[in-house]
Amino acid sequence: MIETDYSQFIESKRIITSDSGFMVNELSPLMFPFQEDLTKWSLRKGRSAIFADCGLGKTIIELEWSQKVADETGGNVLILAPLAVSKQTVREGEKFGYKVNLCRTQDDVKPGINITNYEMLQHFNPPEFVGVVPDESSILKGMNSKTRLLITESFANTPYKLACTATPAPNDYMELGNHAEFLGVMTRSEMLAMFFVHDGGDTSKWRIKGHAEQRFWEWVSSWAVVIRKPSDLGYENDGFSLPKLNINQVTVITDQPIEGMLFAIEAKTLQERQAARKSSVSDRVARCAELVNESPEQWIIWCNLNAESEALRKSIDGSVEVRGSDSSDHKEKVINDFVKGNVKILISKPSIFGFGLNLQNCHNMAFVGLSDSYEEFYQAVRRCWRFGQKNDVNVHVITANTEGAVVANIERKERDAMTMINEMVKHTQKITSAEVRGTRREQTNYIPSQSIILPEWLGVKNIV
């Protein structure tokens, strides 16, 4: 019948992602109510993303989700995590009562929950897992990165997927598309074609079509949850209040000219800023050493250049430097000693220790070298400034006067990011609150009320 076919056609235009998981009733009694409901929602969805701020308990959500998937299917689940986070997750698992197997190759896999570093993925056979959890899934952000493509393609047919991160898209909608593509919801290209238009002549920038904004966020809410604090979804914030964050900009006056220049002038371009950082290393390191050597407390010193890292180690008493070229075992030992308080000053890069680690044991940090990446800065700060931190967090951003608008650039990106996160919460809050808390949101069904006049050559009768 034409009426049936037309109803099916209307339904086919819906873009809300359907559930492909299973229902559970009992979860770990150690979970907060919002964590329990998020886990139930994610298990029911089957393939989903949880964008929850630092310290909201993504680890226990990931572990409980993985355990339930393993129990339901009898298969194995693989958690992918940044370096040093794997062992931290194993320890968290022991605390919460989960058995988490740390493995480096497929031969090490055991029944249930397994975890490895992203760098080791090539040593595994993804089709042998029924579930996968990319921890700190913002690693999917690079449109053409080999890591994103490897993860997305390797687990294309995995039935259960959970992506977790605190920063889904600091200032770029494309990361949402990358998450959707990983989950198998919709490709990034399809998302762009359906909801976005090019912003003027810059083909690298996209903006949501005016008439599609609400539909876009409805679609996002059908596979992702955005939560900065429990009250975003209608829960109490008890125990989830952030301490005060003190960000101090320290500008070092240097007379060292940028390479190729006769005088010390303010950098204008990215290349000039990078050159200014190189020429001002000694001045910035000296200022940082003054701050840290006078303090009896633990510090994390973030840098971007090996020259900064080496100079800091030589200038700061009791410091330990960790470079990218160091072995995985050395990196994990140093971070473990830092958490225990056996290392007073940790010197490293955000790309090494800036993601996923819980470092509430420390509440002082300095950036001696600030890149233009807001995500790196945000994630590095959140290692200490997170729910569960008992002290005010002090962050010193040390730059040279010749570096130009690097701090202003980060602040602009921060404003853009907060605007986007606020928009995400505003548009998805009502929908996800209803979905996660177990109620059904009200939907408008298509009810035909007017006759459709069809041309005679179709050879069919008019319908209502």
Is residue 357, in this structure, part of any structural domain at all? yes
User: 292 to each of 151, 188, 228, 350, how far by Cα in Å?
Assistant: 40, 45, 32, 19
Domain extent for 389: 245-404
In a domain? residue 2? no
Could you report the per-residue pLDDT of 195-244, keeping only the tens digit for each? 988 766 555 677 888 888 888 888 988 899 888 889 988 899 988 888 99
Q: Indicate whether 174 and 315 sit together in one domain.
A: no
Query: Is 9 or 364 the better-scoring residue by pLDDT?
Result: 364
458 inside domain: no
Please report which confidence band the pLDDT of residue 461 belongs to, taking 50, 70 and 90 as the band edges: low
Half-sphere exposure of 238 (CA within 13 A, CB side): 5
Beta bridge partners of 399: 251
Top-confidence range, 45-49, 81-85, 458-462: 45-49
| Per-residue pLDDT tens digits for 169-179 | 545 678 888 89
Contact assessment for residue 218 and residue 431, using Cβ atoms and an 8 Å cutoff = yes
Q: What is the CATH number of the domain that holds 235?
A: 3.40.50.10810
Each residue's pLDDT tens digit, 285-323: 999 999 999 999 999 999 988 999 999 999 999 999 999
* Domain assignment of residue 211, yes or no: yes
Q: Assess if residue 383 is contained within a domain.
A: yes
The pLDDT score that the predictor gives to residue 143 is 47
The model's confidence at residue 393, banded by pLDDT at 50, 70 and 90, is very high
Q: Are both 209 and 250 inside the same structural domain?
A: no
Residue 255 counted as domain residue: yes
Residue 121 has pLDDT above 70, yes or no: yes
- Whether residue 286 is found in the same domain as residue 205: no
Report the CATH number at residue 372. 3.40.50.300
Same domain, 302 and 189: no
Question: What mean pLDDT do residues 53-79 have?
Answer: 96
Report whether pLDDT(90) > 50. yes
Q: Are residues 44 and 82 in the same domain?
A: yes
Judgement on whether residues 311 and 326 belong to the same structural domain of the protein: yes
pLDDT at 262: 38
Burial track 277-302 (b if 16+ CB lie within 10 A, e otherwise): bebbbebbbebbbebbeeeeebbbbb
Residue 443 resides in a domain: no
**Domain membership flag for residue 112:** yes
pLDDT greater than 60 at residue 117: yes
Q: Domain check: are 47 and 170 in the same one? A: yes
Is the model's pLDDT at 339 over the cut of 60? yes
Predicted TM-score (pTM) of this structure: 0.80
Please give the pLDDT value at position 344. 96
Residues 97 and 198 both lie in one domain:
yes
- What six digits make up the tokens of 392? 């005010």
pLDDT band at 263 (very low <50, low <70, confident <90, very high): very low
Query: What pLDDT is recorded for position 449?
Result: 61
* 383, pLDDT greater than 50: yes
Q: Which of 263, 352, 264 is nearest to 309 (CA)?
A: 352
**Cα Dmax for the chain:** 90
**Is 65 found in the same domain as 210?**
yes
Buried b (16+ CB within 10 A) or exposed e, 326-359: eeeeebbbbbeebbeeebbbbbbbbbbbbbbbbb
Tell me which of 80-84, 242-246, 450-454 is least confident: 450-454
Give the per-residue pLDDT at 422.
78
Residues 175, 33 within the same domain: yes
What is the number of domains present in the chain? 2
460 pLDDT tier (thresholds 50, 70, 90)? low
Q: Are residues 315 and 351 in the same domain?
A: yes
With 80 as the cut, is the pLDDT of residue 388 above it? Answer: yes
Contact 428, 220 (CB under 8 A): yes
d(CA 68, CA 81): 19
The whole-number pLDDT of residue 164 equals 93
pLDDT of residue 265 exceeding 50, the answer is no
Distance of CA 130 to the CA centre of its chain: 23
Check whether residue 371 and residue 385 sit in a common domain: yes
CB count in 10 Å sphere of residue 213: 14
